[in-house]
A and B are shown apart, each in its own frame.
Chain A
Amino acid sequence: MAEPAKKVEEKKIIDEGLEMGTEKLTQDRIENVINRVLKGESGARLKAYVDTCIHCGLCSEACHYYLSQDNDPRWSPVGKVKQTLWEMIKKKGKVSPDFIKRAAEIASTECNLCKRCAMYCPFGIDIAYMMLVVRRINHLLGVTPLYIQDTAHSHAATFNQMWVKDDEWIDTLQWQEEEAQGEIPTLRIPLEKEGADIMYSVIGPEPKFQAQLIYQAAVIMDVAGVNWTMPATPGWDNSDMAMFTGDNEIMGRLKRAHFETAARLRVKKIVMGECGHAFRSVYDVGNRWLGWRMPPIPVVHAIEFYYNLLKEGRIKIAKKFEEAVTLNDPCNVSRGGGLHDKARYVVNAICESLVEMHPNREYNYCCCAGGGVINCGPPYKMKRVEGNRIKAEQLFAAKARGAKVLIAPCHNCHSGLEDINHHYGLGMEIKFIGDILYEAMEKPA
Chain B
Amino acid sequence: MIHFKRLNDLLSRKYWAPVSAVKEHKGEAMNTLYNFVSGPLAWVAFIIFFVGCLYRLIRILVLVHKKEKYIYTYMSWKYSFRSILHWVIPFATVNWRKHPVLTIVTFAFHICLIITPIFLLSHIILWDESWSVSWWSLPDSLVQAMTLIVIGSCIFFLIRRLISPEVQYVTFASDYIILAIVAAPFVTGFMSYYQWFGYQVFTILHILSGEIMLIAIPFTRLSHMLFSPLTRAYMGSEFGGVRHARDW
Q: What is the interface of chain A, defined by CB distance below 8 A to chain B?
A: 1-2, 4-5, 42-45, 47-49, 51-58, 60-62, 66, 71-74, 76, 78-79, 82, 118-120, 122-126, 284, 288, 293-294, 334-340, 361-363
Q: Which B residues between 77 and 98 are near A, CB-CB below 8 angstroms? A: 83, 87, 93-95, 98
Q: Can you name 16 A-B pairs with beta carbons within 8 Å?
A: A2-B169, A4-B169, A55-B221, A61-B98, A73-B165, A73-B166, A76-B166, A120-B95, A123-B227, A124-B232, A124-B234, A125-B231, A126-B235, A334-B245, A336-B245, A337-B244
Question: Are B243 and A336 in contact, CB atoms less than 8 angstroms apart?
Answer: yes
Q: Does B247 contact A (CB under 8 A)?
A: yes
The answer to whether B170 touches A52, judged by C-beta atoms less than 8 angstroms apart, is no
* A119 CA to B224 CA, complexed, in Å: 17
Q: Tell me the complex Cα distance, A125–B228, Å.
A: 9
CB-based contact A2/B168 at 8 Å: yes
Q: How far is the CA of A120 from the CA of B232 in the complex (A)?
A: 11
User: B245–A66 contact, CB under 8 A?
Assistant: no
How many pairs, one residue from A and one from B, have CB atoms within 8 Å of each other in the complex? 139
From known contacts A293-B73, A335-B243, infer whether A122 and B170 are also in contact, taking CB-CB under 8 Å.
no
Q: Is the CB of A57 within 8 A of B164?
A: yes
Q: B66, B231, B242: which contacts A123 (Cβ < 8 A)?
A: B231
Tell me if B169 and A47 are in contact (CB < 8 A).
Answer: no
Find out whether the CB atom of A120 lies under 8 angstroms from the CB atom of B94: yes
Are A57 and B236 interface neighbours, CB within 8 A? Answer: no
Q: Given A55-B171, A284-B242, verify A48-B60 contact (CB < 8 Å).
A: yes
A57 near B167 (CB under 8 angstroms)?
Answer: yes
* Contact bitstring B49-90, A, C-beta under 8 A = 1, else 0: 000000000001101101110110110000000010001000
- Contact, CB under 8 Å: A54 / B224: yes
A32 to B164, CA, bound (A): 37
Chain A proximity of B83: nearest CB distance (Å)? 7
Given contacts A52-B223, A124-B83, contact A44 B63 (CB under 8 A): yes
Top 7 nearest A-B pairs (CB, nearest first) are A338-B244, A124-B235, A43-B67, A73-B169, A44-B63, A57-B166, A362-B245
Query: At the interface, is chain A mostly helix, strand, loop or mixed?
Result: loop
With the chains together, A76 CA to B167 CA distance in Å?
10
Is B171 touching A43 in the complex (CB atoms < 8 A)?
no
Q: Does B99 lie at the interface of the complex (its beta carbon under 8 Å from any beta carbon of A)?
A: yes
Residues of chain B from 195 to 248 with CB closer than 8 A to chain A in the complex: 221, 223-224, 227-228, 230-232, 234-236, 239, 242-248
Is there a chain A Cβ closer than 8 Å to B175's Cβ?
yes
Q: Check A123–B228 contact: CB distance below 8 A.
A: yes
B172 in contact (CB, < 8 A): yes
Q: Which residue of A lies closest to B61 (CB)?
A: A44
Q: Are A337 and B243 in contact (CB under 8 A)?
A: yes
A51: which B residues are within 8 A, CB to CB? 221, 223-224, 227
CB-defined contacts of A336 to chain B, threshold 8 Å? 243, 245
Decide yes or no: A122 and B95 within 8 Å by CB, A47-B63, A336-B245 being known contacts: yes
How close is A155's CB to chain B, nearest CB, in angstroms? 24
List chain A residues, Cβ under 8 A from B61: 44
Residues of B close to A55: CB separation below 8 A: 167, 170-172, 175, 221
Give bound CA distance, A177 to B242, whole Å.
36
With A55-B170, A363-B94 in contact, do A119 and B221 touch (Cβ < 8 Å)? no
Residue with the highest number of chain A CB atoms closer than 10 Å, among B61, B166, B244: B166
Task: Kindly list chain A residues whose C-beta atoms are within 8 Å of the C-beta of B66.
Answer: 43
A6, closest chain B residue (CB): B165
| Distance to closest chain B CB from A290 (angstroms) | 11
- CB neighbours (8 Å) of B244 from chain A are 337-339
Cβ of B247 and Cβ of A118 under 8 Å apart? yes
Q: How many angstroms between the C-alpha atoms of A124 and B87 in the bound complex?
A: 10
- Nearest to A60 among chain B residues (CB) is B166
Q: Which residues of A have CB within 8 Å of B83? A: 124
Residues of A within 8 A of B230 (CB): 48
Closest to A58 in B: B95
